[in-house]
Amino acid sequence: MANNNDNFDHVIVNKPSIGQRMFKYRWFYLMFLPVAVVLLIFFYWPMLGVRYAWSTYKLKQITLRLGPDYSTGWGNFQRLFTSDPFHSAFRNTIVLSFFNLVFATVLTVVIALLINEIGNAWGKKIVQTVLYLPHFLSWVVAASIFMLILSAGTDATGADTSNMGFVNAIVAKIYNLFHNDPYVPIDFLTEGKWWRVVWYIMNRWKETGWGTIIYLAALSSISPDLYEAAEIDGANRFKQTWYITVPSLMDTILVVFILNLAKIMNIFESVFVLYNSLVYDVSDVIQTYVYRVGIVGNDYGYSTAIGLFKSVVSLVLVSASDVISKKVRGYGIV
């Protein structure tokens, strides 16, 4: 036993110290140094600001340089959890983001698979370009396009249909083929039940093409031998996709899903440019709420508390999905 210990100590003693190892790899550490400095300054240093969540920090404290008033304690969190608008914003954030994430995952994978099936190289490039283009438009432009094509017209009685948007005009034509009564245009952007549908469609129209890039890269790394073997075994295109392509993509799908899950609390611009007072109850999200109370209302302590809560929720979601992934597939990403 003693001998064993002696042997073990011998191994430890002979292992190079951390200083020695750092010196050995000094050029790698030097290379990493700028990254570490950037990380510390721009990612970790700002995190110190979370302490404002336990303070009253408004315009007066800033302009007169009084500093935050920490006597508030948990007051901001108390206000947060008893606020109706926050509850509504939290609920909407979860619903909008969750469905958007599901649609995003399914659609990007399906479209990536379809693009992968295009044999003609030129055709493939044209389709990819057309699908990527909306990503480069700003959310304001995207929302304006949807407002124009979905317009219900400018006459509330619906009698004058001259200014109706493209979608309502087509629906009206189809409706009039089968009905004698006049078509009442659908106000897609002010009807709560339609607003969310429009928001999902706008998001997918803008971002699905861009999202396929990572899957197309993953698809290109699948060995053609697998498809060749499957073809010899008599598998048709669908079975090849189902038994080879999809399982090969699962790792990428999982990584992208977990990374996107971390961002689900961050929706802002796409909602901000499209929402209006008639659909606040289904569209107001945490970020738009923070914008109102934090930026417009100059309540930095309270908005920091909301931001902190948001980050905690994101952390829990990512950690939980990683744990589930480890249990189901045997590995995660964290």
Partner 1 sequence: MKKNVLKRVSALGLSMVMVAGLAGCNGSGDSAEIDLEYGDPDDKPDEISMMVDTTITEENGLQAVCDEYEKQTGIKLTFEKPDHAKYYEKVTLSFASEEPADIIEMGSTYYPELANSGALWDMTEAWEKSKEQAAQGAQGVNCVNIIDEDYIDALRINGELYGFPMAAGNGTITYVRQDWLDAAGLQAPKNYDEFINMLRAFKSRGGGAIPITAAGLLNTETPYDIYLREFYQDAVPDIYKDKTTGKYVDGFGEPACLVCNYLGIDAYQEGLIDAEIVTNKTSTCRDKLGSGLVGAFNYWAGMWSLKLQRSMNEGQLVAIPPIEEANGYTERVPTALAMSVYAPKKAAIFKYFLLYSHDGGEGQMLFTHGVKDIHYKYNPDGSCEALPYIVDPDNKVEKSMFAPELTITEWNDPIPLDPMVKESLEIYRQHRTFATVPVVNDTISQNLADLNVVRNVVVANAVTGKQTVDEAMQYYEEKGGYYANAILDDLNSEANLAAEAEAEAKAKSSSSEDTADDAAGAADEAE
Q: Which residues make up the interface to partner 1 (CB under 8 A)?
A: 17-18, 45, 48-49, 51, 58-60, 62-68, 83-85, 147, 151-157, 159-160, 162-163, 187, 189-190, 276-278, 280-281, 284, 292-293, 295-299, 302
Q: How far is the CB of 262 from partner 1 (least distance, A)?
A: 24
Q: How far is the CB of 153 from partner 1 (least distance, A)?
A: 6
Do residues 209 and 111 touch, judged by C-beta distance below 8 A? yes
Interatomic CA distance for residues 332 and 322, integer angstroms: 5
Q: Of 210 and 297, which has the nearer Cβ to partner 1?
A: 297
Q: Of 154 and 236, which has the nearer Cβ to partner 1?
A: 154
Residues whose CB falls within 8 Å of the CB of residue 214, separated by 6 or more in sequence, listed in order: 252, 256
Q: Of 4 and 157, which has the nearer Cβ to partner 1?
A: 157
Q: How far is the CB of 293 from partner 1 (least distance, A)?
A: 5
**Count of CB atoms within 10 A of residue 276's CB?**
10
Interatomic CA distance for residues 290 and 275, integer angstroms: 15
Q: How far is the CB of 202 from partner 1 (least distance, A)?
A: 14
Angle among Cα 92, 96, 97 to the nearest 5 degrees reads 115
Question: Could you give the 3-state DSSP secondary structure of residue 6?
Answer: helix
Q: What is the DSSP letter of 181?
A: S
Q: Of 160 and 231, which has the nearer Cβ to partner 1?
A: 160
Q: Of 215 and 302, which has the nearer Cβ to partner 1?
A: 302
In single-letter form, the type of residue at position 254 comes to: L
Q: How far is the CB of 79 from partner 1 (least distance, A)?
A: 9
Residues whose CB falls within 8 Å of the CB of residue 308, separated by 6 or more in sequence, listed in order: 50, 53
Q: How far is the CB of 298 from partner 1 (least distance, A)?
A: 6
Q: Which CA distances in Å does 40 have to 26, 116, 151, 169, 315?
A: 20, 41, 48, 55, 20
Following CA atoms 284, 287, 289, 290 in sequence, which dihedral angle do they give, to the nearest 10 degrees? 180
Q: Of 55 and 208, which has the nearer Cβ to partner 1?
A: 55
Interatomic CA distance for residues 252 and 273, integer angstroms: 32
Q: Of 132 and 272, which has the nearer Cβ to partner 1?
A: 272
Interatomic CA distance for residues 100 and 119, integer angstroms: 30
Q: How far is the CB of 95 from partner 1 (least distance, A)?
A: 19
